[in-house]
Structure 1
Amino acid sequence: MQNLNQSDVHAKMLEAIIQSSDEAISVVDEHGTGIIINPAYTRLTGLTREQVVGQPATADISEGESMHFKVLQTRKPVRGVRMKVGPNRRDVLVNVAPIIVDGILKGSVGVIRDVSEIQALTEELHRARQIIRTLEAKYTFEDIIGSSDEMHFAIEQAKLGAKTPATVLLRGESGTGKELFAHAIHNASNRKYNKFIRVNCAAISFSLLESELFGYEEGAFSGAKRGGKRGLFEEANNGSIFLDEIGELSTETQAKLLRVLQENEIVRVGGTKPIPINVRVIAATNVNLEKGMAEGRIREDLYYRINKLPIQIPPLRDRKEDIPLLSYHLLKKINQDFGRNVEGLTDAALEYLSSYEWPGNVRELENILGRAIINMNFNEVIVDVQHIPHLETKMLDKKETNFPIEINLEHSRPLSEMIEDFEAKVIYFELNKNKGNKTKTAKELGISLRNLYYKIEKYKIAYNGMQ
């Protein structure tokens, strides 16, 4: 009798737990007949106890098959099945597990979750991740691709800078990877577990930049937030702040930045009280700071403060031997972005890319490879010359183009006709020299293979050994 009472108590406790749970729960017996639902289930589905208990497990389903019946048949749990339930066709995810007692199947228990709630949580997580990405450095020195001597020297200098508290100045053309270096320096420093704040000084107007960097006090200006606002330097306390395009700062903002570097403190806009901070400054510029200093646009004292550890990042044209490695690295990234599976490039394509001077540097290379993949058929997996957009490559040296092509100037003709006549003869000469190899001919002439085909057709150029 005592055992029976204990069983009753346990059963009542179990039912009380189910009834008080915030999870929507339904239980059926071994025949698939509903025996228990809880208030959370009613709230989610809109179905009352009378509509479910004593009814087949399909009674609550408006779209989809019963997972209770499936579990009873297979004796295996199911997870994450999407269906619609109740009169309002509520979109839910269903988890159902068998209830087995002493090896005997006694029924199944299901837990359902509102998909809209899951979507809201997913969106909230996505927003949180976006915020976190602005506060942390994503890249390390392993992400910097390059084996050239110039790049190796820049990386070694950056690693040296990461181990010191000194301000680092990254110098290089647009698209060379200055931000990549800034991330890597932060992640290799003893501040890597603290915030990394990125600021593009050219992207924020002069009027806003100062308050963004240094914050402001309540009432500092019309529309100022009650209680004031912390600036980015305060946000980056104990971490690093990356000031990109530092050459674009106004002289007034430069003076405030100098105070940060000299005194390790800031004063908010509209305030008088200095606020101590401990921030590592990583600056970057693609302009000539020395010229700016001579013209009075860059403060001399600031220049000497930020130029303690200058690191020159080489342009792509000075490290063309890195193009193959960079191209394969960028292809992986582009494959993910475009949902493609491009495996690599032909030797001719790599030679063609190497013949270009790359004024836009690595950023331009990524753009060109992306466009090349767009030009490919979906079943193609190797980038060839014909896929690559036209690049204004170097023309041949004079000694290589010094061949006997006669231009008839005796008869008066329009200049355009004479230019076309000369162009046709140059193409014919190059095709003969290269034994009809159009890929090599296009590369040497500095035009795309597609453009070469067009000109061959336009001028009706014929060569028996064409490839």
Structure 2
Amino acid sequence: MNSVKKIMIPVDECLTPNHTLNEAIKFMKKTKWNTVPVTDLTGKLIGVFTRSSLYQMLLLELQQTTTIAKYIKEDIGTVTLDTTFEELEEFIEISEVGTGIVIDDFGKPIGLITTSSAVLSFLHSTQLLKGQLETILQTSNLGALMTNEQGSIIFVNEKLTRMLKQPEDRLLFTDLQQIIPKYESSSFNKDVHFRINIDSDYFVVRLSTYNMPNGKKGFIALFQNVSELENMAQELQTVKKWKSILQTVIDNAYDGLVMINENGEIIFISPSLIELFELDNKTIEGSPVDTILPHLELIPTLKTGVADISDFMEIKGINYMVHRIPVYQDDQIIGVIGKIVYRQLHEVRERFRRYEDVEKKLQVSSRKTEMSRFTFKEILSQDPQMEKLMRSGIKAAKGRTTILIRGESGTGKELFAHAIHSSSSSGKGPFITVNCAAIPEHLLESEFFGYEEGAFTGAKQKGKMGKFDLANGGTLFLDEVGDMSLQLQAKLLRVLQEREFYRVGGTERIEVNVRIIAATNRSLEEMVEKGEFREDLFYRLNVISFEIPPLRKRKKDILLLSESFIEELNKQNGTSIIGWDPMVQQAMMDYDWPGNIRELRNVWERAMVFSENGNVQLVDLPDYLLKKVGYDLLIEEEETTIPEQSLLEKAEQIAIQKALIKSNGNKSQACKLLGISRSVLYDKLKKYEAIEVN
């Protein structure tokens, strides 16, 4: 856009010689112009009517119906849209009316340029230019100063103040010779460069002159910190060293490496490949890879962008493989790397074969013997009580003392038992689990101690080893020990005391070295009082006791466990859940979790299956959970209401509903729980009409 057009005031209407004094007054009052263009009937500019002309007519006490024709100034200057700022500046300086009239190619006025608008525009341009120059100096990393004709500093930029480690106010009006001792104004007649030292820093200075408005010359000095240049040179040298190191790594880290660009031309090949494929006499770099090394088949990878590995190939009796890797820049394939492996390939294959054999043996061994699967590191908790229990469990694991783990169903008692065994000296030994509540009572004894051939009808011909046999040298975990019969309790007590037992139907005494870890969700003390559990066995089991707190008493762990379950279940079920709605989190925290961690995992598995958008929503949770925490009505309202509630409104509605449930419908008590007045509560109830208390 032309500079004149930027600063002019557009003219939409003008005066004519036939306009009266009254009309001119009204026009100038409306436009607030001191100078008004006057045109003929064709719209062509013929002069201007100024405020001084207006005053003249008023002083002459002319009638307001008098036309302005005789008071028009005709000898005026005009400008066009093509007028430069320099021409405009000169025009305004000599203008008698202080306002320039902008005309088009037909001589019709299209705008006004006042002295104030021009000055403001010039000032803005000057400030803009100053800012641009300072930005250039800043990005060029140069310090700069200017002086007047006496050599006194009148300007310094911020970069120079940091270079010289002096504030701006100390540098301004200082003589240039104090900073640049080599400067002598009398002998200075051309631009010069020299090196100076200031406070242990070295600078290259360019000193030149500039013309001042008064016709005299001032000085401009530009400073470049040589130390920075020397650092850059050192960095460049370091880069060269790294290049040499990387070249050596490329030459030796892989058996062979070849790179091609997006055109399929070789841009690098390691010397080992030149020797392997006998390419000494060929021009390689810049040549098409399909001409030099077609058997590597790198071009298909360049087209597909998919990395792959070749089958075994052979050259001169040497087996080799090619790993083809595409190279991307942003989303564009710019080349392919071919990594060739051939050295000691036979030995590598032999080691892999041995490794696979060992893996197979371990898998067979693990199928025969049950082992511990968890450690204390896999018990996730942020609860202080749980952390204390884990520290105590690690200490208890060091001995062979019998341990009793208490806790509600689903709190992780078996996981805790696994962790204790893993931390013990026999952690690599067997970990055998017996669920005393899951095995029929008449089979418990044979399960524990095994049986001899022909011990009972249906017994195996060679007999069977019991759990104590299998756990020898390790741990026997008795889950739900409170469900064991009194008869079996007596036999278990003997094993714990004597460390020996007889198989069912057998006469040979068998000695075992087994650690017992028992778990129960029942109160063994109450069972002892009722005669349902042997007192002597209770004291034998209760040497070291751990009470696993239920999930409702360790609320901090709910979200921690939830994140772990989401990751585990995504892998297990192929889902893609990344999080949950804040209302889901609130529901999880409000629920009491009677089934503890087991229930939490089951709820997440169900919710993740039903979730449709990657984030679990309130509607994905089981109905019984939502009803228990009072969120079921909210779900029903969401399904029947078209406009969605805000998160704040949802939370507010739930809080009111829960307060009414806790107060059994007593609104005064609900107000106290919520911390609001009855009138506010009634307003909210009216707003959320779906809230009811059953």
- CA 1:369–1:262: 2 relative to 1, 3 Å: same
In structure 1, give the amino acid aligned to 2:367: I
Give the Å deviation of 1:128: 4.1
Note the C-alpha offset of 1:275. 0.7
1:74 aligns with 2:295: yes
* CA spacing shift, 1:261–1:102, aligned 2, 3 Å: closer
The amino acid across from 2:621 in the alignment is I
8 Å contact from structure 1 (residues 245, 284) kept in 2: yes
Instruction: Give, in angstroms, the shift of residue 73 of structure 1.
Output: 7.7
1:289 counterpart (524, 531, 547): 524
The letter of the residue matching 1:277 is V
Distance 1:103 1:299 in 2: 75
Percent identity, aligned pairs only?
Answer: 42
Cα distance change, pair 284–435 in 1 and its aligned pair in 2 (3 A): closer
Report what 2:229 is aligned to.
Answer: none
Which deviations, in whole Å up to 9, do the C-alpha atoms of 1:145-184 show, x marking residues without a partner?
Answer: 1111221222222222211211110100100000100110
Mapped pair 1:131 → 2:367:
yes
> Of 627, 649, 652, which residue of structure 2 is paired with 1:437?
649
- Equivalent position of 2:376 in the other structure: 141
Q: 1:340 to 1:302 in 2, by over 3 A?
A: same
**2:336 paired with 1:100:** no
Deviation at 1:315, TM superposition (A): 0.5
Q: In structure 1, what residue type is equivalent to 2:650? A: K
* Residues 310-340 of structure 1, C-alpha deviations (whole Å, 9 max, x = no match): 1000001111121111111111111112112
| 1:102/1:361 CA distance change after superposition, 3 Å | closer
- SS of 1:437's partner is helix
C-alpha contact 1:171 1:178 (8 A) present in aligned 2: yes
Determine if the alignment matches structure 1 residue 311 to structure 2 residue 581. Answer: no
Question: Structure 2 counterpart of 1:247, which letter?
Answer: G
**Aligned counterpart, 2:252:** none
Shift of 1:215: 0.8
User: 2:393 matched to which residue of 1?
Assistant: 158
CA distance 1:104–1:347, shift in 2 (3 Å)? closer
| Residue 370 (1) aligns with residue 612 (2) | no
Larger radius of gyration: 2
Unaligned runs of 5+ in 1: 1-71, 77-94, 106-120, 397-419, 425-430, 448-460
* Counterpart Cα distance in 1 of 2:524 and 2:319: 81
Counterparts of 1:439-458 in structure 2, within 5 Å, are 439-442=651-654, 445=657
* 1:347 corresponds to 2:582: yes
Residue 191 of structure 1 aligns to a residue whose secondary structure is coil
In structure 1, what residue type is equivalent to 2:436?
Answer: C
The letter for the 1-side match of 2:653 is: T
Q: Cα offset for 1:351?
A: 1.8
The answer to whether the 8 Å contact 1:197/1:236 transfers is yes
The amino acid across from 1:176 in the alignment is T
- 8 Å contact 2:409–2:596 — kept in the other structure? yes
Q: Look up the equivalent residue of 1:441 and give its one-letter code.
A: Q
Q: What is the match of residue 227 of structure 1?
A: 462
Please name the residue that 2:593 is paired with: 358
TM-score (norm 2): 0.41
SS at match of 1:351: helix
286-295 or 177-186, which deviates more: 286-295
Q: Give the match's secondary structure for 1:314.
A: coil
- Structure 2 unaligned residues grouped into runs of 5+: 1-292, 298-309, 321-356, 638-643, 660-684
In structure 2, what is the equivalent of residue 457 of structure 1?
none
* Distance (whole Å) between structure 2 residues aligned to residue 147 and residue 262 of structure 1: 38
Question: 1:394 Cα shift?
Answer: 4.9
Residue 180 of structure 1 is matched in structure 2 by 415
- In the alignment, does 2:624 pair up with 1:385? no
Measure the CA separation in 2 of the matches of 1:262 and 1:125: 37
Distance 1:104 1:192 in 2: 44
Counterpart residue identity of residue 185, structure 1: I
Which of 424, 438, 444 is matched with 1:203 structurally?
A: 438
TM-score by length of 1: 0.60
1:44-93 per-position Cα deviation (integer Å, ceiling 9, x unaligned): xxxxxxxxxxxxxxxxxxxxxxxxxxxx98368xxxxxxxxxxxxxxxxx
Q: Kindly provide the amino acid, as one letter, of the partner of residue 276 in structure 1.
A: E
1:241 has 2:476 as partner:
yes
In structure 2, the residue matched to 1:111 is none
Return the offset for 1:385.
2.6
CA distance in structure 2 between the aligned counterparts of 1:203 and 1:463, rounded to whole angstroms: 53
Cα 1:164–1:443 shift into 2, 3 Å: farther
Q: Matches of 2:416 and 2:609 in 1, distance apart?
A: 29
Shift of 1:199: 1.0
Contact kept, 8 Å, 1:265 with 1:275, in 2: the verdict is yes
Alpha-carbon deviation of 1:465? 13
Higher relative contact order (CA 8 A, sep 6+): 1
**Is contact 2:653–2:688 with CA below 8 Å preserved after alignment?**
no
Equivalent residue letter for 1:249: M
Matching residue of 1:64 = none
- Distance verdict in 2 for CA 1:445–1:336, change over 3 Å: farther
- Offset from partner CA, 1:214-268 (integer Å, 9 cap, x none): 0111221122222322111011101011110001111111111111110111111
Instruction: Give the deviation of 1:445 after TM superposition.
Output: 3.2
Residues 383, 193 of structure 1: CA spacing in aligned structure 2 closer, same or farther, 3 A cutoff? same
RMSD over aligned Cα, in angstroms? 3.7
1:402-421 aligned within 5 A:
none
Where do 1:113-128 residues align within 5 Å?
128=364
Q: Give CA deviations for 1:181-221 in whole Å, capped at 9, x if unaligned.
A: 01100000001111111111111101111101101112211
- Equivalent-residue separation in structure 1 for 2:535 and 2:319 (angstroms): 85
For residues 241 and 103 of structure 1, the distance between their equivalents in structure 2, rounded to whole angstroms, comes to 55
2-structure distance, mates of 1:253, 1:104: 66
Counterpart secondary structure, 1:266: strand
Aligned length: 313
Residue 317 to residue 102, structure 1, CA distance change in 2 (3 Å):
closer
Deviations 1:415-466 (A, max 9, x none): xxxxx9xx99xxxxxx99x99712552466369xxxxxxxxxxxxx995999
Instruction: Report the Cα distance in structure 2 between the residues aligned to 1:347 and 1:395, rounded to whole angstroms.
Output: 16
1:15-68: CA deviation from partner (whole Å, max 9, x where unpaired): xxxxxxxxxxxxxxxxxxxxxxxxxxxxxxxxxxxxxxxxxxxxxxxxxxxxxx
Query: 2:88: which partner in 1?
Result: none
